[in-house]
Structure 1
Amino acid sequence: MKKIFILMMLFFFFGEMMSQTERYVYRTEVNPDTINLVDMKVETTFLDVKNNQSLFISESKLLRDSLVAVLKSQGNLDVKKSKKNKQEFPKLANGKSIQPTFFEYFIKKNYENRAINLVENIGSRQVYYQEDRKMNWDVSQQTSDFNGYKVQKATVNFGGRTWTAWFAPEIKISDGPYKLSGLPGLILKLEDDKGDYKFNFVKKISIPNTFTEDIKADARKSTRINFQGDKASVKMEMAKSKDSEIDLDNFNPGGGRGMHQRGGMNSGFGGQPGQGMNGGTPGNEVGNGQADIQMGNSQGNSGGNNASTINFGNSNPIELSNKY
């Protein structure tokens, strides 16, 4: 009953704050370790477009953060500890646990000024920076068909990887997964040259009410180069002030952190490929039926049941270089 009440609170607490969102759902594959032979890990990521802005975020982080916000609004943010003295996040209404994510941050893009901000939560605080590198795309005349759309090929060197994108000119949104953007159409398929990261568009859904993420007024503004140092500084400040929320960033099983650049990832990833929560990936599909996060609700198939957590360490960040 308590779990149902929490989900109902999600609806009423955020209902007035939100407007229609166009959500582009991607099946995302990550190679967690390029040295050891391991399976690609699969999760669902979202590109939410609303009011001339977009939000790139993983399904797991969006659900976890929405639940944190509701619990905080109730003054009931109490993290229980397991028998092994590890923090346990409250379970969903269907009894499943929130799965870990490789994307322990969110990215906000503003279409008017073309600003791209990467934001990471440190407990109740935020640290962010604005991307300062341009993406110089090489657009090919090669075309193909993907998921019902005619797509065109483009490549770019960014973050130490060469990315190949297939964008749909008929979708007039100059955006895509992660920071990748700037093409004359939405990126529907994206993969790096090493095959470590793959984003494949699955479907678009329109959501009248959905939880969103924003940059807080008191967020610490950093730079791309100083980002890791500023995160450490904020943690030190919170530890000195004995902030009770300093451990909120440990809600991700395995102590996951953002892996957008080398040194930024120390994450675990539990479960098997195809066990993403809330529209997991059985077979070759993501987000089957009505199993999409809207108001924090979790319906349909939720995977990762009794999955063990694997800690891959700092093995394969999405950005290998800060130079370009």
Structure 2
Amino acid sequence: MKKYFILTLLAFSFIAQAQVTANRFFYELTYKPKKDSAKVEKVMMSLDITPEKSIFRDYTAIAQDSLLQIKVEAMQKAGVFKDLSKDYTMPKFSFKIDKAYPSMEMQFSEEVVNGRSTLYMAYKETPKFDWKIEAETMKIGEYKTQKATTKFGGRTWTAWFSKDIPFQDGPYKFSGLPGLIVKIEDADQNYSWELKGNRPVKDFVEYTYFQKLQSGGMPKTIDMDRAKFEDKIIEYKNDPFASVRGQMSKEVLAYKMPGSDKTVGEMVKEQEKMLKDLYSAVDNPIEMQAITTKKKK
């Protein structure tokens, strides 16, 4: 049975209050981290579609969550600290995009360290895409798709959407076509998302076990206007552990974790370096006017 037929049934099952609470679409992102380099990287991202909204994010953390939960719970039970950093791959992208249905109001949020927990800084907007739908069609995988173009974020984008998948949504902020976007890329091929598969997700939860653990419960989201958000993100990425250092005394930083030779201070420095390396790895933003990490003067 064709995938689009299955997806159509799933779409109607949402209306019928079926047990399936989300449909997860997997998009492979091929991108150029550095604008002055031809080197490309790839990462899997997910678009989770629920009756109320969609959620788009890096799939890396979700893919590791169950295994990480087992290891953390075993460590807690044993009462001995174990450095799990080598068992955990940091997501390349820390943003999350929620699109509310049917308004398509979007909330763009970034996960940040705040003291001893994490939270999301966010802004809201409702992007308006001036799509130009063309007659050209193309087969991508199992999907018959149609071409559409638009300008967004200082780039020109070409999308291929399928009317056989009845969701007017797509990767990143893109939406508004009469079918799910199967592939979209900018004219210079800096960013290219392509649908690679999908599956239903029962008992869907928005936040991972690890996110809840870091936040001491449900992560907090702080909404602000975009200008303030961009200023705050620049400040945070220049010094991601400023809030952590401010809450830890010299005695705490010198404390050794149970069962480990590492001090809290050493762990903080390692995590700080990891985050700084992550943020400095990309200087070619999806939206050309978007914020990139600035070097301290």
Query: Under a length normalisation based on structure 2, what TM-score does the superposition of the two structures give?
Result: 0.67
Q: Aligned partners of 1:168, 1:318: CA distance in 2, in Å?
A: 23
> 1:42 aligns to what?
42
Change (3 A) 1:192 1:41: same
Counterpart for residue 8 of structure 1: none
Looking at structure 1, the residues matched to 196 and 56 of structure 2 have their Cα atoms a distance apart, in angstroms, of: 15
Question: Could you say if the C-alpha distance between residues 212 and 175 of structure 1 is closer, same or farther in structure 2, counting changes exceeding 3 Å?
Answer: same
Q: Distance in 2 between matches of 1:252 and 1:56?
A: 26
For residue 301 of structure 1, what is the aligned residue in structure 2? none
Q: Does 1:240 align with 2:252?
A: no
SS of 2:130's equivalent in the other structure is coil
Structure having the higher helix fraction is: 2
Choose the corresponding residue for 1:156, options 131, 150, 158. 150
Give the SS at the match of 2:24: strand
The letter of the residue matching 2:62 is L
CA contact (8 A) 2:168 2:177 kept: yes
What is the deviation of 1:74?
Answer: 8.9
Structure 1: stretches of 5+ with no match in the other structure: 1-17, 81-87, 92-96, 258-264, 268-313
**Number of residue pairs aligned between Structure 1 and Structure 2:** 238
Instruction: Spell out, residue by residue over 1:129-187, the C-alpha distance to the aligned partner (whole angstroms, 9 max, x if none).
Output: 11354222122122222222221111111111111110111211111011111111100
Residues in 2 aligned to 1:180 and 1:78: alpha-carbon distance in whole angstroms: 43
Matches within 5 A, 1:114-153: 114-123=104-113, 124-153=118-147
CA pair 140-33 structure 1, distance change in 2 beyond 3 A: same
Match of 2:176 in 1: 182
Q: Quote the Cα distance in structure 1 between the aligned partners of 2:149 and 2:166.
A: 19
Cα distance in 1 for partners of 2:73, 2:194 equals: 36
Q: CA shift at 1:73, angstroms? A: 8.3
List per-residue Cα deviations over 1:200-256 (Å, max 9, x = no partner): 111111121444239967422122222232243796555434499x96994895646
RMSD: 3.6
Q: Measured at CA, do residues 51 and 207 of structure 1 come closer, stay the same or move farther in structure 2, by a change above 3 Å?
A: same
Q: Which amino acid aligns with 1:205?
A: R
Matching of residue 319 in structure 1 with residue 287 in structure 2: yes
Question: Greater CA radius of gyration, 1 or 2?
Answer: 2
Picking from 280, 283, 292, the partner of 1:266 is 280
Q: Distance in 2 between matches of 1:74 and 1:221?
A: 36
Counterpart Cα distance in 2 of 1:213 and 1:168: 29
Unmatched 5+ residue regions in structure 2? Answer: 1-18, 212-217, 250-263, 291-297
Contact 1:121 1:249 in 2 (8 A): no
TM-score between the two structures when normalised by the length of structure 1: 0.62
Q: Residue 169 of structure 2 contacts residue 175 of structure 2 at CA under 8 Å; is this kept in 1? A: yes
Question: Percent identity, aligned pairs only?
Answer: 25
**Paired AA for residue 193 in structure 1:** A
- Equivalent-residue separation in structure 1 for 2:270 and 2:203 (angstroms): 26
Give the SS at the match of 2:226: coil
- Residues 1:218 and 1:28: Cα distance change in structure 2 (over 3 Å): closer
Superimposed CA distance per residue, residues 99-154 of structure 1 (whole angstroms, 9 cap, x where no aligned partner) = x4332111111112211111111121210111354222122122222222221111
Q: Secondary structure at the match of 2:45?
A: strand
